[in-house]
Each structure stands twice: as structure tokens, then as C-alpha cells.
Structure 1
Amino acid sequence: MPPQDRSAGRLKDSDGETGSAPPARQVLSDSVYEDIKAKVMDHEIAPGARVGIDALSRTLGVSPTPVREALARLEADGLVVKRSLSGYRATELLTRQGVEELFEMRLLLEPRATELAAANATEEELDTIEQIVEEMQTLPGPTGRYADYRDFAALDQRFHDAIAAASHRPLLAAAVERLHSHLHVFRLTHVELAGNPTLAEHENIVRAILRRRADRAAAAMTEHLTRSLQRQLSHGNES
């Protein structure tokens, strides 16, 4: 199958020209991706387990093609890995040390990105960051399975990525995005833990950015990430 450009929702056709993906096909591709992602996030596909393309095709009632496309996207997300001769497997859960190392990376990258965002963000970027927080506040408290907290998790990721993008440092923003930290963290613990404390901490970050207080913005992000790590280690991952 021709390669898919996720960011633009476009496909390379057979003669190399770029055209819009057929709407029905794109809807199917996105639906299969979300279905398999939910199975990984909810551990219906156990960490480390083999992910069979034919079995998923039968379960979801689709051809192998959208399953393969979905697995390629999930590999980019860090939720599955492809190994020679053995196909795809769900990634293992982070250990306690893995969680600590993930947050160590975030604490190196995100406070600096937040500091730069306070100095460099355009008015449009500020509006976007503020709107994401406002949208998170309208969601019901996230509980239960992935389907119930998917929107919360997606907005949480968008919030951090939007701040990184507003730093106007493309390499820094790309590094933050590639961590896919939210997907790995949300696989570990019950999502109620990510409710009100996260929203209040996000608000503190936004206020500092909107006021162009770079030092306070960086400190607010550091506090948020430090508290997030503490919540993870106290309630989630003890391995």
C-alpha cells in the first residue's frame, strides 16, 4: 500500500502524485487505529504480546490493509514494535525506572520549552493553548477504560505539544512530541489520578505564559511534571 502522511491526511497515489485520501477510507483507517489503540491501552492486547494482523482483521471485520496501516501508526506512537520474523508486539509497560527516566527527559525539555513559549508565542498560539485548557475543563471527570478518557488524554497531549511548538524551537518541539509520554503514562494507572490536579497545574502554566513571565512559566511546568511523577510513583508503577 502507498505510504500515508498522518499529519496532512494525504496519500501518495500509484504514480507518485499526492492527492486527498478518500473520505470513507480515511474514516475506516482512523476507526481501526482507534480500536486497536484502545485494545493496547486497556491491556486487551497484553504488554509484550504478539499483535496478529489476521486475527485483528477477523475481530474487527476489516481487511488486513487498514490493520497494517494502524499498526504502522501505533509503532510511531511507541505502543507497538515491529520485529523481524515475529511481526508486531505490544510494547512493554514502563518500569519504575522507566517512568523516572521519562520524567527526567521531560524535566530537561519542557520547562525550557515553556520558558521560550512565554517569550516567543504568537497571539494565535496563546489562544490555542488557552482554548485547550478551557476545553479540558468542560470534559467529565475521566474514568474507566480508554474510550472514556480518550478525549482527556488527547487534549493533555495537545497542551504540552502546543506549548513546545510555541517555543519556536523546532528541534525542541519535535523532541517533546516524540516522547509520547502521555500514552505510556496513561497505560500505567487509573485515569482518575489525572483529573483535577492536572487541570489546576495546567492553569498555572497558562497564566504565566499569557503574562509573558518566562521564569514563572518554566517553574510552573517544573512543578507540574514533578507532581505528575510523584503521582505516578505513589499510585501507579511499583515494578
Structure 2
Amino acid sequence: MHKSSAMDKSDIATRSSPLASQAYETLRASIIACEISPGEKLKIDALQKVHKFSSSPLREALNRLVAEGLVTSDDRRGFRTAPMTSVDLNDLTLCRTIQEAAAFELAIQHGDDAWEASVVAAFHQLEKVERQINRGEAQRDDRWTHLHKTFHIALISASQSERLISACENHFDQSERYRRLSASVRSKSRNTVAEHKALVDCVLRRDAAKARTLIIDHIEKTAANVARYLKEKRL
């Protein structure tokens, strides 16, 4: 089972200073939550004033984010948050469907009873919050985002491929950035509780073929909502 975050991220974090790691986590969370706009220039002096880090850990953090695709950099323009476009969304969705479908199938092939239990537990936590959201008692905030990601990673955690899990995690986070940006046009009729429950049922039945179909459909439905927003904004 998957015990930690991506290997390459862990290796980089081990070599980074504590302040650089803190700066990285802070900036990464702000970018994914769209608190920093797509394509916005990331000036070191401005970031120092807002986040109270010195220039060295900020530069190290930004370079890590460049490696993840959340920030761009060139000699003339400096650092900017990565742009968000229909072309990039299509590419990201393609990567996610290929990678998560493969990882899910492998997890079903290799997963044991403990893996099944971890998936059911992750779904239970997510389902409670989603039902609260459906009743108007909660929102799709950072808590929901954390539980949603935990569930998706649990589904693939028995794939026995750390590199594949790493890629899925990174692309999930990039997709979450798009989801946050397009929240205003989210489909009201979509039953995500039922979609997630169907994925759990595939785990319990060990139905790899159905799992592949459902995870691809699940990812593409979210992408379709985002695509409508990008079309409206002509991005």
C-alpha cells in the first residue's frame, strides 16, 4: 500500500530547509486554491511582505513548484503561476484518465483486505461531508478537498507503483486548481456520493473493468464542468 507522498517530492523535501518547505507548502496551497490568479507574476519582494519568508526559501519553494508545473519561470519574466487554458485542461484530463485508470486496475489486482478497509474508511469520511454539503450544512472547502483527495489516493494505493501514484497525486492537485476556478458553474444535479459509492463497489467486487470505466467517467464529468467555465471566459 501507498505509505507516503510522491518519492521525488519526499526526496526534495528532505534536502530542503525547514523554511523552504514551509514556503513551498504555503505557496502551493494558495496556488491550488486559486488565491493567486493564473498567470500572476510572483515577485519575491511582494511574497516576502505577505508571507514573511526571506528570499532564499521563497526562491527554493518557487523552483520546486516549477518542477511540479504549478509555476512557470524564464529569465526575462521571472516566476508566474501557471496559466489555465482549455488546451491544458484537455491534456491534464487525458493524463489523469490514463494514469488513474491504470493505477486503479493494478490496485484491484494487488490489493488485500487492509486496502479494501482503507478505501471504505476513506469513502465513509468523504460521504459524511458530501451529504452535509447536499443538505446545505457544509461547503466544498479545504476539508472536503482533503477528504476527496484522500479517497482517490486510497483507491490506487495498492497499485504497487510509487511513480504512478506520484503522477496521479500531482495531476489530481492540478485538476483541483481548475475545479476551484470553475466552482461557479458546477453542475447542481450531479450525485457525487453515488459516483464515489460505485467506485467502492468495484473495489469490493474486484471488478477492474467496471472500475476503469467509472473512474474515467468520474474524472471527465468534472472536466466537462470546468470546460464550460473556460469556454465562457474564452480561456
| Range of TM-score over shorter length | 0.7 to 0.9
Partner residue, 2:186: 193
**Given the alignment of the two structures, is residue 118 of structure 1 paired with residue 82 of structure 2, yes or no?**
no
Per the TM alignment, residue 109 of structure 1 is displaced from its structure 2 partner at its CA by 2.6
8 Å Cα contact 1:201/1:224 also seen in 2: yes
Q: Which residue of the other structure, out of 126, 133, 151, is the alignment partner of 1:136?
A: 126
Partner residue, 1:50: 41
Partner residue, 2:211: 217
SS of 1:182's equivalent in the other structure is helix
Distance in 1 of aligned mates of 2:111 and 2:185: 31
Q: How has the CA–CA distance of structure 1 residues 216 and 48 changed in structure 2, closer, same or farther, with 3 Å as cutoff?
A: same
SS of 2:72's equivalent in the other structure is strand
Per the TM alignment, residue 48 of structure 1 is displaced from its structure 2 partner at its CA by 1.5
Alignment: residue pair count? 217
The one-letter amino acid of 2:151's match is: F
Partner residue, 2:226: 232
Output the TM-score relative to the length of structure 1.
0.72
**Given the alignment of the two structures, is residue 168 of structure 1 paired with residue 137 of structure 2, yes or no?**
no
The one-letter amino acid of 2:10's match is: S
Partner residue, 1:17: none
RMSD (CA atoms) = 3.4
Distance in 1 of aligned mates of 2:13 and 2:40: 31
8 Å Cα contact 2:185/2:225 also seen in 1: no
After the TM superposition, list the runs of 4 or more consecutive aligned residues in structure 1 that deviate by more than 6 angstroms.
none
The one-letter amino acid of 1:50's match is: K
Partner residue, 2:72: 81
Distance in 1 of aligned mates of 2:63 and 2:114: 32
Per the TM alignment, residue 35 of structure 1 is displaced from its structure 2 partner at its CA by 3.9
Distance in 1 of aligned mates of 2:185 and 2:122: 19
Distance in 1 of aligned mates of 2:167 and 2:21: 27
Q: How has the CA–CA distance of structure 1 residues 188 and 207 changed in structure 2, closer, same or farther, with 3 Å as cutoff?
A: same
Partner residue, 1:156: 148
Per the TM alignment, residue 85 of structure 1 is displaced from its structure 2 partner at its CA by 4.6
Q: How has the CA–CA distance of structure 1 residues 165 and 191 changed in structure 2, closer, same or farther, with 3 Å as cutoff?
A: farther
% identical equivalent positions:
26
Output the TM-score relative to the length of structure 2.
0.73
Q: Which residue of the other structure, out of 90, 93, 108, is the alignment partner of 2:81?
A: 90
Per the TM alignment, residue 231 of structure 1 is displaced from its structure 2 partner at its CA by 2.5
Higher relative contact order (CA 8 A, sep 6+): 2
8 Å Cα contact 1:153/1:182 also seen in 2: no
**Given the alignment of the two structures, is residue 208 of structure 1 paired with residue 179 of structure 2, yes or no?**
no
Write out per-residue CA displacement over residues 143-194 of structure 1, whole angstroms, 9 at most, x where no aligned residue: xxxx972232233333333333322244433442342443342243117838
Per the TM alignment, residue 89 of structure 1 is displaced from its structure 2 partner at its CA by 0.9
Identify the structure with the greater strand proportion: 1
Partner residue, 1:108: 98
Distance in 2 of aligned mates of 1:209 and 1:39: 34
Per the TM alignment, residue 38 of structure 1 is displaced from its structure 2 partner at its CA by 4.7
Distance in 2 of aligned mates of 1:64 and 1:90: 17
8 Å Cα contact 2:30/2:36 also seen in 1: yes
Structure 2 gap ranges (5+): 1-7
Per the TM alignment, residue 114 of structure 1 is displaced from its structure 2 partner at its CA by 1.8
Q: How has the CA–CA distance of structure 1 residues 43 and 216 changed in structure 2, closer, same or farther, with 3 Å as cutoff?
A: closer
